[in-house]
Chain A
Amino acid sequence: MEPVLEKTSHPSIFIRVFRFYVDGFRRMTVGRTLWKVIIVKLIIMFAVLKLFFFQDFLGTKFTTDEQRADYVLEQITAPIQAQSALSQGGKL
């Protein structure tokens, strides 16, 4: 008869890493407060500030990169156009 080998439990590296993190988070003391601060901060930053107050100016105004490039070129050369309009008696 073949000897019966007892199966030893040896979890994979992924499970061990997962347990390492879970256990680490469970043992946190000050860390719990800090995580709360981080989460609240990220929610305010991304769900409030970014969403309502800090939209990408060119991203929201134009749909293609070509339009964005044209707009920025327009902005860069605006002083020359303004000067040209003034020299021709035009209004700004």
Chain B
Amino acid sequence: MIENFDLTMVNWARAQFAMTAMYHWVFVPLTLGITWIIAFYHTIYVKTGSEEWKNLTKFWMKLFGINFAIGVATGIIMEFEFGTNWSNYSWMVGDIFGAPLAIEGIAAFFLEATFFAVMFFGWNRVSKGFHLFSTWMVAVGSNLSAVWILVANGWMQHPVGQAFNPDTARFEMQNFTDVVFNPVAVSKFTHTTSSAMLFAALFIISISSFYLLKGRHVKMAKRSIIVASVFGLLASGFVGFTGDEAAYENARHQPMKLAAFEGLYQGEKNAGLVAFGMVNSKKQVGDDQDAFHFEIRIPGLLTMLANRKFGTFVPGINDLVYGNAEQGIMGAAEKMEKGKVAITQLDAYKKFKKAGDEAAATAALSIFDENKDYLGYGFLTRPEEAAPPVALSFNAFHIMVVLGTVFPLVFLAYLYFSYKDTLLEQKWLLGTGTIMFFLGMVAQQAGWVVAEVGRQPWAIQDLLPVTVARSNLTAGTVQTTFFMFLVLFTILLVAEISIMLKQISLGPKES
């Protein structure tokens, strides 16, 4: 059935969405994270009254302003794409996404726009207390905006608090609280914002290290590093904690994603976590090739990550695709049958309703309701299609985890040498520090690859595959706009980098 759809169009639309989302995410984590660190710098200034802390705060505020201005509204392009390339999806989720996205718009406008202006224009023009309050509110406001978009994303990964209306073809919200406090959305929000804090700390470390290597703005750079390292270290701990929570939620609601990012084909009790390995990218689900060229596993750790209990079973890709009666796991083939029943009965309901045969329509709806949880599987042609790209998921996850393990060590090293007052002599550390910003961005992007590639083929988990979520457009239309976006976003990125580099080159005002 899937071959009836224009897969070329679907893939171009996916590539376009991935590109815009990844470009958008170049700007967002810095905005989310650096506002908190600026708030701390500003607080120290207000407490000490030191002009040096004031200049330091103003400098980082300026870089934040550049990032914010260049990045603002880049996310709206994704909303354009929903309406144009993903109209079936857009129609079906409109009722669920309407409220969170409207709240996001209002929160962003009132909190960010109001306090943002006071934060930038308020020096010597409003009281110090109100000015500081505004800086904190910018941090709160920008992170609150993120809540709602991540609630929407969390719902796609674990669609709770909804009911499908067969007359309107829409998922309708039944319980707002369930949608907002969806455990996947909560873990997604906490993991995203804490990783953004970590990333912002790396940004400050990179620029400050550059100054120290050049012997410029030494006092300001050292002060910036100490606060950023403490903040980054605390954020790293929180990232680990929330990452563990995210994996636990994956095991509950998206076990295929967990199996894919660990390259686990055969489920097992006390499954090990791959500490280091090279996944076999040629392996297909169901063939007899080895999953890895080589791997080193930490015994039992994946089981602990997934179930928090030794001796428990973690399902692999094969268990989820082909089923595992012993463990009570239904395979994708059986789910496909149920999904096809759901689609058939939905079609029958529509026809009976049109013909005015209420009794037959009610009967069809009843069977549809029994099978609707597997609706999406009805669109698959082979059980193997239920698995995401394993190599990409695995590599992205392990890049993220390795980098996430390195970052706290870097923060600790900076703190140690700052305490010893020998930071200027550690050229190797300062050199490493200058590229930390780039590595932080790699980790950020890898995290989203895990989240979004790992949940394929679903636009809405188990209910709607991306092949059905799309609009009936030609690939050529999407290709044109793909390249337009590529040019636009590249120009924006070049503008950001050049304006920021100029300000970094100018540096903060010296007292």
B74 to chain A: closest residue by CB: A41
Number of contacting residues on B, CB 8 A?
51
Chain A CB within 10 A, most for which of B91, B350, B488, B495:
B91
B168: A residues at CB distance < 8 A: 65, 69
B330: A residues at CB distance < 8 A: none
A80 engages B70 (CB within 8 Å): no
B484 engages A21 (CB within 8 Å): no
Q: How far is the CA of A40 from the CA of B84 in the complex (A)?
A: 23
The secondary-structure label for the interface of chain A is: helix
Name which of B339-347, B432-440, B442-450 contacts chain A. Answer: B339-347
Across the interface, A34 reaches (CB within 8 A) one of B73, B91, B166, B499, namely B499
B120: A residues at CB distance < 8 A: 24, 31
Across the interface, B69 reaches (CB within 8 A) one of A38, A53, A77, A78, namely A38
A42: B residues at CB distance < 8 A: 73
B83 engages A73 (CB within 8 Å): no
Across the interface, B343 reaches (CB within 8 A) one of A24, A38, A76, namely A76
B378 engages A79 (CB within 8 Å): yes
- What is the CB-to-nearest-CB distance from B477 to chain A, in angstroms, rounded to a whole number? 8
Q: How far is the CA of A57 from the CA of B81 in the complex (A)?
A: 10
A58 engages B350 (CB within 8 Å): no
- What is the CB-to-nearest-CB distance from B170 to chain A, in angstroms, rounded to a whole number? 7
Q: How far is the CA of A65 from the CA of B468 in the complex (A)?
A: 19
Across the interface, B91 reaches (CB within 8 A) one of A45, A58, A79, namely A58
B496 to chain A: closest residue by CB: A37
B84 engages A37 (CB within 8 Å): no
A50: B residues at CB distance < 8 A: 80
Chain B CB within 10 A, most for which of A23, A68, A77:
A77
Residue B324 interfacial (CB < 8 Å): no
Q: How far is the CA of A44 from the CA of B499 in the complex (A)?
A: 20
Residue B87 interfacial (CB < 8 Å): yes
Residue B62 interfacial (CB < 8 Å): yes
Residue B355 interfacial (CB < 8 Å): no
- What is the CB-to-nearest-CB distance from B507 to chain A, in angstroms, rounded to a whole number? 13
B92: A residues at CB distance < 8 A: 72
Number of contacting residues on A, CB 8 A?
40
Q: How far is the CA of A78 from the CA of B347 in the complex (A)?
A: 9
Q: How far is the CA of A54 from the CA of B84 in the complex (A)?
A: 6
Q: A30-B62, A76-B346, A81-B347 are in contact. Are A45 and B167 (CB under 8 A)?
A: no
A38 engages B350 (CB within 8 Å): no
B83 engages A59 (CB within 8 Å): yes
Residue B23 interfacial (CB < 8 Å): no
Residue B429 interfacial (CB < 8 Å): no
Q: A53-B484, A54-B83 are in contact. Are A72 and B91 (CB under 8 A)?
A: yes
A58 engages B117 (CB within 8 Å): no
A79 engages B481 (CB within 8 Å): no
Q: How far is the CA of A82 from the CA of B343 in the complex (A)?
A: 12
B91 engages A56 (CB within 8 Å): no
B121 engages A27 (CB within 8 Å): yes
Across the interface, B117 reaches (CB within 8 A) one of A21, A27, A33, A76, namely A21
Residue A75 interfacial (CB < 8 Å): yes
A-B CB contact pairs (8 Å), 25 listed:
A20-B125, A24-B120, A30-B499, A31-B65, A37-B69, A37-B492, A44-B488, A45-B80, A49-B77, A49-B481, A54-B83, A56-B87, A57-B85, A57-B87, A57-B473, A65-B168, A68-B91, A69-B168, A72-B87, A72-B92, A73-B169, A77-B343, A79-B4, A82-B4, A83-B1
> Which residue numbers of A lie inside 8 Å of B, CB to CB?
20-21, 23-24, 27, 30-31, 33-35, 37-38, 41-42, 44-45, 49-50, 53-59, 65, 68-69, 72-73, 75-83, 92
Q: Nearest 10 pairs between A and B by C-beta?
A: A24-B121, A57-B87, A34-B69, A79-B1, A54-B80, A77-B347, A56-B83, A72-B169, A57-B471, A73-B169
Known: A77-B343, A79-B1. 9 other contacts (CB 8 A): A31-B120, A37-B70, A44-B488, A45-B77, A57-B472, A58-B91, A69-B170, A73-B350, A79-B4
